[in-house]
Amino acid sequence: MEVNDALVDKLAQLARLKFEASEKEEIKNDLQKMIAFVEKLNELDTTGVEPLLHMTDEVNVLREDEVMGSITRESALKNAPLHDEKFFKVPKVIKPPVPLKGELKSESSSVNSEQNLK
Amino acid sequence: MAVDFDAYETVVGLEVHAQLLTQSKLFCGDSTAFGSEPNTQVSPITLAHPGTLPKMNKKAIEFAIKMGLACHCEIVKENYFARKNYFYPDLPKGYQLSQHTTPICKGGYLTIKINDQEKNICLNRIHIEEDAGKSLHDVDPEYTSIDFNRAGVPLIEIVSEPDIRSGDEASAYLTELRKLVRYLEICDGNMEEGSLRCDANVSVRKRGEQKLGTKAEIKNLNSIRNVKRAIEFESRRMMEMLAQGLEITQQTRSFDADSGTTFSIRDKEDAEDYRYFPDPDLTKFSLTDEFIENIRKTIPVLQKERIKKYTSEYQLSYYDASLLTEEKKFSDYFEQMINNLPPPLDGARGRPFKPAANWMLGPVRSWLNDNNLEIDEFPLAPTKIAGIIELIEEGKLSFSVASSKLFHEIIKSPKSDPGKIAEQKNWMQDSDTDHIENLIDQVLNKFPEKVKEYKKGKKGLIGLFVGEVMKLSKGKADPKITNDILSEKLNS
C-alpha cells in the first residue's frame, strides 16, 4: 500500500490534526514503515483462524444495574480547559443556517448531537 | 406541472433509538434519571478519563433480548462491542461503543394494523449502544455548553427493513413499537423527552420497480405525527423530482416542524468514515439458552392476546378491549379489579365484566385525564372499585350516585370502605319493599286521573309514577323494585 499525500491528508482530517509540509514528509515515511510491517504479517496463511478480538479469555464481565461511582460536578469540571459552574464549554459547534434557493442549508456538519448517532 | 403521484411508490425504513429504563448507565454506575442538574450524573468513566475501564450493565443486555424475543428475532449468542470513531464535543471518548456491526438480535418482525388489515414489518436488527451527551447551543451566547448526564445511557436501536409504504404505516409501526417497549417496561416511550427517537430512510420508485431508489435519511423527528408528516412531504418532493427527470442524490435531511418541510443538512460526499473496530476494554459476552429462556419468562401477556381474552372470556366489544389494553398498567389494573369482582349473584348472569370496563373507561379514565395522572398514580386500589360495583350489582347503590358522589368521596380517603361511606352519607338505595310500596301508594293516590289514563292504555305514564316515587324517596328507591311493584299494582 502506498502512503501518499492524499492518504495522509485523509488521516489528518479524520484525526482532526494539522501538519506543516515538512512534518508531512516525516509522517509519510513513518507510516510507510508501519504499513510495510503489517503487510509482512499478511504473508502468513491464516485460513481457518478466527480473528483475535481480545487479549483476554475472560467473557461476561458484567455488573448489576446499581447506581454508584459518580463524582461531584465540581470535580468533574475541574480539569476542563473551559467551563462555568454547571457546564463544559466548547466553541460554538453550530452556525446559523443560510437560506439558499428556497431551501435552508446548514453550514455545520451537524445540527445536534442526535444526528451523529448514525 | 401535474405529477401523477399514483405512478410512484413510497419506500420507508425506520431506525428507532429507545433509551432503556435501567437505573444506571451502560458501562458505569452513573444514574440515568432524566431532568437532573447538568453534569451531576458523571463519573471518570463517562468523562473518558485515562485509565478508566468500562463494565457492562447486565440489565441492558436483558432488556435488549426481551425486545428481540417479543419481536421474534434470532438472538445472537456471541457478542462484542465495537468503537464507532468520530469527533463531537458531546462524545467524550471520541468514539461511541456500539454493536452496530454485530447486533444482538437479528431479523424478526413487528405486526401493525393498517385499514383493519394486519401487516408484518420485518426488522433488520436490534443492537445495543450508548447515548451521547447533550449540546446546548442557546444557554451561552459565545460557547456551546455540554451536559454529560446522558452520555453512556443505554440505547437499543431497532432497524426495520424498507417494508413501510406510507406515512400512515410508519405512524402505525411507531405506535405499535412504543406500545411494545412500554408493555415490556424497557423504555418509557416518551418522544418529547427523547427517550424514543426516530430517523426515517425515505425513497421513492416507479410502481412495479423492484430496485430501491436513492434514499434520504430524515432526522429531528420528535413525534409520531411529525414522522408521518416528514415522510409525506419528502416522498412527494422526490416524486416531483423524478417526474421532472431530476436525479435524487443521497442526503441527510432535517425536518422543520413549523413549515412541515425537510431541508438538506449533509450530502453523501461528506459521509463520515467511522473506522469500526472491536473495543479491547470490554470483554466479549456470551449468552446461554438458559439465560435467554429466563428472559422469555419475564415477557408479559401482550395486547393482542389480552384483546382476545377480553372479547372471548369477558364478552367485551373489540373496541372496549383495545382501549382497556392500550397501556399495560391500565389493563393490569382492570384485571385486578376483575379478580375482585363478586361471583354471579344468581345463575342467570355472569360476572359484571361490562360494568367493570365501563368504570375503567368512564369515571377512572376521566379522573386520570382531569388530574393529568397515570393509572399507577391513581389513589384507589382496584378492590375499592370492585367494591363499588358490588354495591351497584346488589341493588344497594345507583350507578349515578356511585359515579357522581361516592367515587369522588372515596378518592379523598382511599383507605375507607365504599359501603360505609355510602351508609354514612345516606346514599344507599332503598330496597325495603314495604317502604317503597308505601311511597307508591302515596303517589297513586295523588294522581287518580293519571292512573285512569294509564289503565286506558297510556302506558308511557309509568315514567311519571317512577319519577314521583324517586322524588319522594330523594332518589334512593331501588328503580327495579319500584318498577316491579308499580307495574303489579297498575296492571292488577
This complex has an ipTM of 0.81
Interface contacts A/B by beta carbons within 8 Å: 179
From the candidate CATH numbers 1.10.3720.10, 2.40.110.10, 1.10.10.10, 1.10.10.410, the one assigned to the domain spanning B433-490 = 1.10.10.410
If we measure between CA atoms, which residue out of B109, B108, B121 comes closest to residue B75? B108
Which of A68, A92, A113 has its CB closest to that of B143? Answer: A92
Q: Over the stretch B466-481, which tens digit does the pLDDT of each residue have?
A: 888 888 887 788 888 8
CB-CB under 8 Å, A94 with B144: yes
- Find chain A residues with C-beta within 8 A of B56's C-beta: 61-63
- Find chain A residues with C-beta within 8 A of B144's C-beta: 89-94
Please report the pLDDT score of residue A101 as a whole number: 38
Pairing of strands B82-85, B8-19: unpaired
Query: What is the spatial distance between Cα B216 and Cα B235, in angstroms, rounded to a whole number?
Result: 10
Query: What is the spatial distance between Cα A30 and Cα B253, in angstroms, rounded to a whole number?
Result: 40
- Find chain B residues with C-beta within 8 A of A58's C-beta: 283
Give the lowest-confidence range in A89-103, B2-16, B70-84.
A89-103
Chosen for mutation from B20, B53, B135, B252 (greatest number of chain A CBs closer than 10 Å) is B135
CB-CB under 8 Å, A118 with B100: yes
Decide: B164 and B18 in contact? Cβ < 8 Å.
no
CB-CB under 8 Å, A110 with B283: no
Query: What is the spatial distance between Cα B392 and Cα B352, in angstroms, rounded to a whole number?
Result: 10
What's the residue count for chain A? 118
Chosen for mutation from A13, A98, A117 (greatest number of chain B CBs closer than 10 Å) is A117
CB-CB under 8 Å, B263 with A103: yes
Query: What is the spatial distance between Cα B321 and Cα B304, in angstroms, rounded to a whole number?
Result: 10
Q: How far is B253 from chain A (nearest CA, A)?
A: 10
CB-CB under 8 Å, A61 with B252: no
Please report the pLDDT score of residue B280 as a whole number: 92
Residue B181 has pLDDT above 60, yes or no: yes
Which of A16, A77, A112 has its CB closest to that of B135? Answer: A112
* Mean pLDDT across B231-236: 96
Q: What percent of chain A has pLDDT over 90?
A: 44
Q: Over the stretch B56-81, which tens digit does the pLDDT of each residue have?
A: 999 999 999 999 999 999 999 999 99
* Mean pLDDT across B358-367: 95
Please report the pLDDT score of residue B351 as a whole number: 81
Query: What is the spatial distance between Cα B114 and Cα B442, in angstroms, rounded to a whole number?
Result: 61
CB-CB under 8 Å, B88 with A116: yes
Q: Where are the alpha helices (DSSP H) in B297-414?
A: 303-312, 318-324, 328-339, 353-359, 365-371, 382-393, 399-401, 407-412
Please report the pLDDT score of residue B467 as a whole number: 87
- Find chain A residues with C-beta within 8 A of B145's C-beta: 84, 86-89
Residue B170 has pLDDT above 60, yes or no: yes
- Find chain A residues with C-beta within 8 A of B24's C-beta: 65-68
Q: Over the stretch B30-47, which tens digit does the pLDDT of each residue have?
A: 999 999 999 999 999 999
Using the Cβ of A64 and the Cβ atoms of chain B, whether some distance falls under 8 Å is answered with yes
Residue A84 has pLDDT above 70, yes or no: yes
Please report the pLDDT score of residue B492 as a whole number: 72
CB-CB under 8 Å, B283 with A60: yes
Please report the pLDDT score of residue B456 as a whole number: 86
Mean pLDDT, rounded, of chain B: 92
CA-nearest residue to B147 within chain A is A87
CA-nearest residue to A111 within chain B is B265
Query: What is the spatial distance between Cα B197 and Cα B189, in angstroms, rounded to a whole number?
Result: 9
Residue A96 has pLDDT above 70, yes or no: no
CA-nearest residue to A80 within chain B is B47
The C-alpha torsion from B331 through B336 and B337 to B339, rounded to 10°, is 130
Which of B15, B135, B256 has its CB closest to that of A113? Answer: B135
Domain boundaries, chain B: 5-295, 303-424, 433-490
Half-sphere exposure of B113 (CA within 13 A, CB side): 5
